[in-house]
Structure 1
Amino acid sequence: MENTFTNQAAVKSWLIQELPAILEENTDIQKTIVRISRKRFADKNQTDDRFERMFEELKKDREENNKKWEEQNRESKKKWEENNKKWEENNKKLDEYMRKSDERFDAMLQEIRNIRTKHESSIGALGSRWGIAAESSFRNALKAILENRFDVQVLNITEFDNTGFVFGHPDQIELDIIIKNGEIIICEIKSSMSRSDVYTFHRKVQFYEKKHNCKVTTMMVISPMVDNYALKVADKLGIEVYSFSEDVRL
């Protein structure tokens, strides 16, 4: 038994050393080994074929994927261009809408301004007419009150200023004069009095004194609306100011 094992080991050792040289020299042994191993392992040609098929399949898959990618890119680009075009069109429509809205708003605002101007003009004209009418009514009422309560004579006179002393150019001058026991009281009866109105009234009185060579006893303003500047000027010029006819002291 021991000899058998020793012989087997010696054979294996010998084969390991000598087999490569034997295989290189003996083609029959090579063919036999190839025939036996072919049942379990593919030969070089088969392996090459398999790799070729695998490479072809990979190449085909890559080409198909590239084609799909290019198609997707084209579709995406087309959709982007379409969306961008729609976006530009929508922007143009929005800009046009905003432009028209601005034009309508400007037109409406201008119309409101025109209406306001017309109303202000109408109200101003109405106020002017009302002021004239109110002054006339006020003057008539004051004339009746003063003449009935104080036994005085109230005159409304109109004279012509040839030299333009009052207004700076020739014009008619209207004065309300109260005469009591020889005293001359000149009144300015208006719905409202400003500082310039007070100065104008004072020049009217000076004009009357110079023309008739007389001395006015009292200068009097009767108006429901006299601003603060007018009050200061009246006080400086010695003009009495009354807001109501009932307050007048004669």
Structure 2
Amino acid sequence: MEREEIIALIQRELPQLVAQDPSLRDFILRTVLDVSLPRREADIKFDRILTELQRDREEQAKRWEEQNRKWQEQDRRWQEQAKRWEEQDRKWQEQVRRWEEQSRRWQEQAKRWEEQDRKWQEQVRRWEEQDRRWQEQAKRWEEQDRKWHEQLAEIRRLDKRFDNTIGALGARWGIASETSFRNALAGILTESFGVEVLNLTLYDHEGEVFGRPDQVELDLIIKNGLTIACEIKSSIDKAGMYIFDRKVNFYAQHHQRQIDRKIVISPMVDPRARPVAEALGIELYSYADSVEGL
């Protein structure tokens, strides 16, 4: 570097350096005070000053470069950190948006739940009202059922009474009818056809007919040595058919007399009695059936 350049550099940089570095200012003052020194010494000192200035400038330049490098590194780091912050801020904003969306959905769901709960409460209230009505109806039904049972019991009581009355009337009517028919038949056969009609009352001491001792009634029709046992009943069933056969056998055994025909005359014959009559050789006459061969 030329002298003029150095001088220009000193003139340009010296005021700033003096203002920044007190030691440099002291050094310049001491140098100015030593102006009277010999030329050679002044040159030496001046060269030393220039060398020190150059060294200080290079050192300062290194420091500035290092500081500038540090500032650039720090700026790079700040930029990277800023990017990370921006990315983090974007993620937070995205998360906040999601939270806001989730919160909005939760609020909508809460409204739906509140509406559903209101509907359920309304439905429960309706069910409770319906249950109350059902209970009232059940009470009315129970009361109605009780009345129906009372009426049914009364009907059954009256029906039983009616059946007993009808049964008693039927029994009396049947007995009266049997007696009337027997008397009429005996009168007709005796007076018009010369037939002997006997109404026998026997006593079964051994209980052969009914299973215990009792009276046995039997109607006999006799003509020209022919003996017919006749049973006139308002109704007859299977048991009555067996009893009639036992009465005939009881009479034939104890009176040593053969019974040629066994006849049952009845307007009401149990269908189950017909096979018994057929098996026992009993002739049945009912409704429009006619008795022939007497």
- TM-score if structure 1 supplies the norm length? 0.60
- % same residue: 46
Quick one: structure 1 residues 142 and 101, their matched pair in 2 at CA, closer, same or farther if it must change by over 3 Å? Answer: same
* Distance in 2 separating the partners of 1:238 and 1:86: 76
Provide Cα deviations, 1:94-145, integer angstroms capped at 9, x if missing partner.
Answer: 4433332222222122222222222122111211111111111111111122
Tell me which of 180, 193, 203 is aligned to 2:236: 193
Show structure 2 runs of 5+ residues with no match.
1-117
1:242 aligns with 2:288: no
Distance 1:198 1:102, change over 3 A: closer
Does residue 1:225 correspond to 2:260, yes or no? no
**AA matched with 1:154:** V
Local SS of the residue matching 1:228: coil
- The aligned counterpart of 2:149 is 106
Instruction: Extract unaligned runs of 5+ from structure 1.
Output: 1-75
- Work out whether 1:164 is the aligned partner of 2:207: yes
Residue 153 of structure 1, CA deviation = 0.9
User: Which residue is equivalent to 1:27?
Assistant: none
Shift of 1:181: 1.6
1:122 aligns with 2:165: yes
Larger radius of gyration: 2
Structure 1 residues 86 and 227: CA distance shift in structure 2, 3 A: closer
CA distance in 2, matches of 1:129, 1:179: 29
Question: CA 1:98 to 1:246, structure 2 compared with 1: closer, same or farther past 3 Å?
Answer: closer
Query: RCO greater where, 1 or 2, for CA within 8 Å and sep 6 or more?
Result: 1
Q: 1:237 to 1:100 in 2, by over 3 A?
A: closer
* Cα 1:246–1:142 shift into 2, 3 Å: farther
Q: 1:90 to 1:150 in 2, by over 3 A?
A: same
Residue 142 of structure 1 contacts residue 245 of structure 1 at CA under 8 Å; is this kept in 2? no
- Counterpart residue type for residue 187 of structure 1: C
Larger mean CA deviation between 123-132 and 85-94 belongs to: 85-94
Aligned-pair distance for 1:90?
Answer: 5.4
1:176 counterpart residue number:
219
Alignment CA distance shift 1:210-1:247 (3 Å) = closer
Distance 1:235 1:82 in 2: 76
Shift, 1:184, TM fit: 1.9
Counterpart code for 2:263: M
2:292 partner letter: V
CA 1:194 to 1:96, structure 2 compared with 1: closer, same or farther past 3 Å?
closer
Q: Would the alpha carbon gap of residues 83 and 128 (structure 1) be closer, same or farther in structure 2, given more than 3 Å must change?
A: same
Q: CA separation in 1, counterparts of 2:267 and 2:140?
A: 55
Question: Conserved in 2, the CA contact under 8 Å of 1:242 and 1:248?
Answer: no
CA distance in 2 between counterparts of 1:237 and 1:196 reads 12
Kept after mapping to 2: 8 A contact 1:219/1:240: yes
Q: After the TM superposition, which parts of structure 1 deviate over 6 Å for at least 4 consecutive aligned residues?
A: 80-89
The structure-2 alpha-carbon separation of the partners of 1:95 and 1:228, relative to structure 1 and needing over 3 Å to count, comes to closer
1:209 partnered with 2:227 = no
- 1:93–1:232 Cα change, 3 Å: closer
Q: Which amino acid aligns with 2:191?
A: N
Quote the offset at 1:151 in angstroms: 1.4
1:223, CA displacement in angstroms?
A: 1.7
Which digits, 9 at most, give the CA deviation of each residue in 1:51-94, with x for residues without a partner?
A: xxxxxxxxxxxxxxxxxxxxxxxxx9xxx899999877656544
Instruction: Please give the per-residue CA displacement for 1:24-61, whole angstroms capped at 9, x wherever unaligned.
Output: xxxxxxxxxxxxxxxxxxxxxxxxxxxxxxxxxxxxxx
Q: Distance in 2 between matches of 1:85 and 1:215?
A: 87
